[in-house]
Chain A
Amino acid sequence: MQKTEIMVIGGGLAGMAVAYGLARLGRQVSVLDEGDTALRAARSNFGLLWVQGKGYGMPAYARWTLQSVALWPQLARLLLDDTGIEVHLRQPGGFQLCLSDAEMAEESRRLCWLKDALDGDYPFELLDPAALRKRLPGVGPQVVGACYSPLDGHVNPLKLLRALHAACQTRGVTLLNGRRVSGIAQRGEGFEIASGDQRWHSERLVLAAGLGNRELGALLGQPVPVQPSRGQILVTERLEPFLHYPTSTVRQTDEGTVQLGDSAESVGFDDGTSSAVMADIAGRAVRCFPRLANVRLVRAWGALRVLSPDGAPIYQALPGAPGASLLSCHSGVTLAAAHALRLAPWIAGEQALPEISPFDLQRFTTPAEVRHAS
């Protein structure tokens, strides 16, 4: 049996960000990852560092997101220093383009709520069509307005994942691919982890397996309430740069392709595509930017988000399994910096992190009034 101090299960964005943060603290870390047939949001996401609207109804999530985007330049620099990989972080602010007055009213209502909830410390602008066209030339006539947040940004998500892998290797993390964990047992002061006939022993354990956390949690008697939500994404041929800001549904990547997306469907574990949804996504993109009408699409895929009942992350030290932490999240790109630089020290037991207590599992079982009273 092989031994490791901390075992991270799941080599997606959540697991790798935490593994990197732990390795930077000098911890001895191994990562077990299922491999190519697994559901892997880390390899199929939209690449936004998105702030605006996040945490509506849950100010702690808005603050945590703000903390992460503020830490992102530091993460990008650390990864560049460790690996030479430029993840193409850009934080010029981002636009949410609205195609109807109702959409515009709803988006502004949410942003105003958030600004109140954060005591005014939440910059955004509401733009009418004329103001928007000055900032973002090429926007179509059907766009009735937009919300702009100076805090939004984007990154190349595949380069991010690659950089995290390379940085972990540089810092001595053992990465084991093609290892689907099928057994976890508490043994003495630690855990015995099984994949096929192989066994590992670790003092601490991090469950970061995306949707796989449902099964892993069950092995430790801990239900994990995450559900798949399918998003479909279309990618165009490479174009000369024309869009210098990310928008929530259309963004041009550093290498010229344009990603179109932001659908959400509940279709269980089906990660395929459907022509109706792809047509919707493409139609919306063309209404936003009519110049895209004749552009060729070269790829499309479906992928499953890891969604908790309130959409916010779950961070939980498992009460029944001392030494085990659970990490499940949507928006793992946006949160990668907070995971590497804040959550990892908390998991290592080096730092208290009171701001994450609202993200525990209890929030799904305890009525809100009781929680506030206590």
Chain B
Amino acid sequence: MPADSLFRQLPTDAGLLSIEFDGQTLQVPAGVSLAAALLASGVRRSRSTPVNGSPRAPYCMMGVCFECLVEVDGVPNCQACLLPVAPGLRVRSQHGARSLSPASALEEHHDDA
């Protein structure tokens, strides 16, 4: 059931800055959280859940619900509502659970011990 976003940007004179979201450049208000910046830009889906894959976007805006998880500058599962937006952030949707890097050199080198 699509509904219009209830999210409205209050007038601000903090200016705009640009970030990247899933490869697209967005002009977003400065001085807000990354979650607010995404919502203000009309982003309606910023992750899919690991449990059943359903689409989600920021919800509580105060660090509780974990609906706002995104990948920021290569770091997965960041809570966008807890991060101030900054120029040049490279943000990607978080799809499902984060993957772990394969067993690192640290783990492997013991084989010859």
B4 in the interface, Cβ–Cβ < 8 Å?
A: no
With a cutoff of 8 Å between Cβ atoms, the chain B residues found around residue A139 in the complex are: 107
Which segment of B16-24, B31-39, B85-93, B98-106 sits at the interface? Answer: B98-106
- Residues on B with beta carbons closer than 8 Å to the beta carbon of A137: 103, 107
* Contact status B77-A237, CB under 8 Å: yes
CA distance A291 to B108 in the complex (A): 11
**A240:B109 contact, CB within 8 angstroms:** no
Which single residue of chain A is at the shortest CB-CB distance from B51?
A255
How far apart are B67's CB and chain A's nearest CB, in angstroms?
13
Contacts of B100 in A (CB 8 A): 239-240, 242, 291-292, 295
CA distance A209 to B99 in the complex (A): 41
**Quick one: given A239-B98, A240-B99, A255-B50, are A291 and B110 in contact (CB under 8 Å)?**
no
Separation of A129 and B111 alpha carbons in the complex (Å) = 8
Q: Using Cβ atoms and an 8 Å threshold, which residues of chain A touch B66?
A: 298
Total B residues in contact with A, Cβ cutoff 8 Å:
18
Q: Which residues of A are at the interface with B, using a C-beta cutoff of 8 A? A: 129-130, 133, 137-141, 237-240, 242, 255-256, 290-292, 295-296, 298
Q: List the B side residues contacting A242 at CB < 8 Å.
A: 100
**Is B110 touching A290 in the complex (CB atoms < 8 A)?**
no
When the two chains form their complex, are residues A141 and B77 in contact, meaning their CB atoms are under 8 A apart? no
Asked if residues B103 and A138 are in contact (CB atoms below 8 Å), the reply is yes
* Distance A313 CA – B111 CA, assembled complex (angstroms): 42
Cβ contact within 8 Å between B97 and A141 = no
* Nearest chain A residue, comparing its CB with the CB of B110: A141
Interface 1/0 per residue, B13-54 and A, CB below 8 Å: 000000000000000000000000000000000000011000
Complex: chain B residue closest to A298, CB-CB: B66
Q: How distant is A162 from chain B, measured CB to nearest CB, in Å?
A: 15
In this complex, the member of A130, A139, A238 whose beta carbon has the largest number of chain B beta carbons within 10 angstroms is A238
- Please name all residues of chain B whose beta carbon is closer than 8 Å to the beta carbon of A141 when the two chains form the complex: 106-107, 109-110, 113
13 more A-B residue pairs beyond the given contacts A141-B113, A291-B100, with a C-beta to C-beta distance below 8 A: A133-B111, A137-B103, A138-B103, A140-B110, A237-B77, A238-B77, A240-B97, A240-B98, A256-B50, A256-B97, A291-B103, A295-B100, A296-B77
Q: A139-B107, A141-B106 are in contact. Are A291 and B50 (CB under 8 A)?
A: no
Assess whether B107 is in contact with A290, with CB atoms less than 8 Å apart: yes
18 contacts between A and B (CB under 8 A): A133-B110, A133-B111, A137-B107, A138-B103, A140-B106, A140-B107, A141-B113, A237-B77, A238-B50, A238-B77, A238-B97, A239-B98, A240-B98, A255-B51, A290-B104, A290-B106, A291-B104, A298-B66
